[in-house]
Amino acid sequence: MRDFESEDGIMQFGGVSVTDLANEFGTPVYVTDEQILRHNYRKVYDAFSKFMDTDIYYACKANTNLAILRILNQEGSCVDTVSIGEILTCLRAGFSPDKIMYTGVSVGTGELESVVKTGCKINIDSEMELEKLAEILGPKTRGFPLSIRITPGVVSGYDTKVMTGGKGSKFGIPMNRVLPVYIRAQELGFSLKGIHAHTGSGGNSIDPFLDAVEVLIDIANQLEEELGIKLEFLNFGGGLGVPYKLQEEEFNVENLASSISEMILEESSIRKVCLEPGRYIVCDSTIMLTKCNDIKDAGPKKYIGTDAGFNTLIRPTLYGAYHHVVLANKFNKACTAKYDVVGPICESGDCMAYDRALPDPQVGDIVAVYNAGAYGFSMSSVYNSRPRCREVLVNNGNAELIRDSETMEDIWKHQIIPERLLK
Ligand code: LLP
């Protein structure tokens, strides 16, 4: 896992002192280091493009901040989107429609109509979606480029809630329907460009990726030999793991790239690989800073109460996810006791970190939560009527606001008290 330097006992992030960031922008706050973000994108792109033509579709569900999208757009990334909202966000950040792939699930006709109007690429998830798309396109179906998501019967992921590729999954075309769906798509006039699968999120082994790619290659070969359909690309989805613990090793992206490219190049006639990493690109580029409000010794347990709850970062509560935490202004101080780091939400599940050895805490200390860039802000909420927090970008010693905090007015903005209740 990536760790950071300190100066005079204070954690530094992107060349800025973390306590200065907390003082200037308040807490809780998400802070992203532009250099790490760019480095992560280049690392995964370079690993694959060394072997074959590569498109990285950054899975923007992980983090849709416009400035972060803009940086990845500058790097040459494409984007994987799951909703019309994500598409519009990516267009606003400067992505051209041909760099945006839409892979929905449970897709409604209205959304699909809006997606078609944007001109972005489409990867269909179901037979009904295929029919709906042909109906919406009408005569424009002929030659419309399409890829198809299949259910490979392979799973990966750190939690059952994020495993997607297993037999019986709600995602993709089941294996026994894959050939009929390609045949139907061909009949309708689509130009069949690719095949896609996503096995799950946050897995640390490369085996499921290789197993899924093997399945995709088999289908591609069958399509070519039996139906004369020659695909241009194979997309094996996202899910590349990231170490969340200090001693955990990095996911070996070079090894993944060489193994997958070798398989594709040797066993098929496909010459382009696509992947959709979300977590790998943004996760360790961002920390979340929160202030210690309260310290409690509750008999067998000691608590550090902070100003960030699961409204700010829900992963520990929702998935039991582990995030490394430190007292950022006591970076090198010895740990003296174990604490649960909790938040202000009125639920006992509101706990960011259990049983962590930390230095003596004081009110006002800054807790830095590591690896907060993926599914951090993007899953935050206004639960308990706490407006969403700020986001800041740091780059070689400079800090810039990239999202202001919401206000109570934002929370009330769309609510209506019927006139009759005001009398
Ligand atoms: N492609 C598809 C089709 C996906 O469904 C996903 C994630 C990705 C790519 C990107 O996966 P990544 O590289 O980020 O692992 N909220 C959960 C993660 C949910 C992932 C959902 N799909 C979390 O906080 O861990």
How would DSSP label each residue in 291-352? EEEEEEEETTEEEEEES--TTT--HHHHH-----EEEGGGTTSPP-EEEEEE-SSSSTT-EE
Cβ of residue 240 lying under 6 Å from some atom of ligand 1 = yes
Residue 293 has pLDDT above 90, yes or no: yes
> Which atom of ligand 1 approaches the CA of 277 most closely?
13
State both tokens at 341: 């780091």
| For residues 409-413, average pLDDT | 97
Pairing of the two strands 286-298 and 301-306? antiparallel
Cβ of residue 283 lying under 6 Å from some atom of ligand 1 = no
Cβ of residue 200 lying under 6 Å from some atom of ligand 1 = no
Q: How far apart are CA 76 and CA 55, in angstroms?
A: 9
Cβ of residue 149 lying under 6 Å from some atom of ligand 1 = no
User: How high is the mean pLDDT of the chain?
Assistant: 97
| For residues 191-209, average pLDDT | 94
Which listed residue (90, 346, 351, 389) is catalytic?
A: 346
Q: What pLDDT is recorded for position 3?
A: 87
Give the Å distance between the CA of 292 and the centre of ligand 1: 31
Kindly report, residue by residue over 157-191, the tens digit of the pLDDT.
Answer: 888 988 999 999 999 999 999 999 999 999 999 99
> In degrees, to the nearest 5, what angle opens at C-alpha 104 toward C-alphas 103 and 110?
125
Residue 211 has pLDDT above 90, yes or no: yes
Provide the β-strand partners of residue 291.
Answer: 366
Cβ of residue 123 lying under 6 Å from some atom of ligand 1 = no
Cβ of residue 120 lying under 6 Å from some atom of ligand 1 = no
Q: Does residue 346 carry a catalytic annotation? A: yes
> Which atom of ligand 1 approaches the CA of 318 most closely?
24
Pairing of the two strands 10-13 and 16-17? antiparallel
CB 237 within 8 A of CB 276: yes
Cβ of residue 315 lying under 6 Å from some atom of ligand 1 = yes
Residue 91 has pLDDT above 90, yes or no: yes
State both tokens at 384: 């308990």
Distances (CA, A) of 331 to 19, 30, 256, 361: 11, 19, 35, 12
Q: How far apart are CA 310 and CA 295, in angstroms?
A: 18
Q: How far apart are CA 155 and CA 170, in angstroms?
A: 13
| For residues 59-73, average pLDDT | 98
| For residues 373-386, average pLDDT | 98
CB 263 within 8 A of CB 213: yes
pTM of the prediction?
0.97
> Which atom of ligand 1 approaches the CA of 196 most closely?
3
| For residues 111-137, average pLDDT | 98
Q: What pLDDT is recorded for position 33?
A: 98
Q: What is the dihedral of CA 96, 133, 209, 90, to 10 degrees?
A: 20
Give the Å distance between the CA of 211 and the centre of ligand 1: 18
Neighbours of 152 (CB within 10 A): 31
Provide the β-strand partners of residue 358.
Answer: 337
| For residues 19-26, average pLDDT | 98
Give the Å distance between the CA of 201 and the centre of ligand 1: 5
Give the Å distance between the CA of 85 and the centre of ligand 1: 17
Cα-to-chain-centroid distance, residue 186: 32
Which of 1-5, 263-267, 415-419 bottoms out in mean pLDDT, i.e. has the lowest? 1-5
Residue 262 has pLDDT above 90, yes or no: yes
SS3 81: strand
Give the Å distance between the CA of 72 and the centre of ligand 1: 17
Cα-to-chain-centroid distance, residue 209: 17
Kindly report, residue by residue over 31-47, the tens digit of the pLDDT.
Answer: 999 999 999 999 999 99
Residue 203 has pLDDT above 90, yes or no: no
Mutate to test the pocket of ligand 1, among 61, 149, 156 (most ligand atoms within 8 A of CB): 61
Give the Å distance between the CA of 294 and the centre of ligand 1: 34
Classify the C-alpha dihedral 24-28-34-35 as positive or negative. positive
| For residues 26-35, average pLDDT | 98
Give the Å distance between the CA of 367 and the centre of ligand 1: 26
The residue contributing the CA closest to ligand 1 atom 7 is 201
Residue 234 has pLDDT above 90, yes or no: yes
Cβ of residue 239 lying under 6 Å from some atom of ligand 1 = yes
CB 313 within 8 A of CB 350: no
Cβ of residue 238 lying under 6 Å from some atom of ligand 1 = yes
Cβ of residue 237 lying under 6 Å from some atom of ligand 1 = yes
CB 66 within 8 A of CB 402: yes
Give the Å distance between the CA of 279 and the centre of ligand 1: 7
Q: How far apart are CA 338 and CA 336, in angstroms?
A: 7
Q: What pLDDT is recorded for position 305?
A: 98
Q: Which residues are CB-contacts of 101 (< 8 A; sequence separation ≥ 6)?
A: 57, 78, 79, 80, 81, 120, 121, 122, 123, 147, 276
Cβ of residue 206 lying under 6 Å from some atom of ligand 1 = no
Mutate to test the pocket of ligand 1, among 82, 154, 201 (most ligand atoms within 8 A of CB): 201
